[in-house]
Amino acid sequence: MQGAVANPKPSPMEATCSLAPGPGGMSTGLHGLDMFSINHQYMDIWVINQRVQRGATEIWEIGNDGHMLHPFHFHGTSFQILDRGGFPLPDQERGWKDVVLVRPFEKVRVVARFDQPAGDDHPFMYHCHILEHEDNGMMGQFTVS
């Protein structure tokens, strides 16, 4: 892959982020209704959902268990898409990204290196970039340390 990370060395941890509509299905866009989840967890400001070792290169598999599109975004680094359900990527998806569209019932793998530190007091977020989804639970927090 042109411009790809050479010899990515994924850490043993492979985060699986499962993007699914929660109870109630579609969002009404009202704040805080907990209708969309990641790994069956709704956003909770008091919970650190993932911990990443600083300097690690990780492969994250992001699966969409629902019937809606979810543009998945995470903070603190850029990433490259490895594949969509094992299929090769079109040229426009081979650059550096900070958002990846995950289609209904699709699994996308991305690779990222985490060098920016983030502690429990100021964690990074990962979330769907549709405001009504993230505001209704589809967001999580992670540290890099």
Report the interface residues with Cu ion, using CB under 5 A: 70, 128, 130, 133
CB of residue 117 to Cu ion, shortest distance in Å: 28
H/E segment holding residue 133 = helix 131-134
Residue 101 or 111: the one with the smaller Cβ distance to Cu ion is 101
Residue 4 or 125: the one with the smaller Cβ distance to Cu ion is 125
Q: Please report, for residues 35, 69, 89, 127, the alpha-carbon distance to residue 79 in angstroms, rounded to integers and kept in the order given.
A: 27, 19, 14, 15
DSSP 136: T
CB of residue 68 to Cu ion, shortest distance in Å: 6
CB of residue 22 to Cu ion, shortest distance in Å: 12
Q: Please report, for residues 18, 27, 41, 45, the alpha-carbon distance to residue 61 in angstroms, rounded to integers and kept in the order given.
A: 9, 24, 16, 23
Residue 70 or 84: the one with the smaller Cβ distance to Cu ion is 70
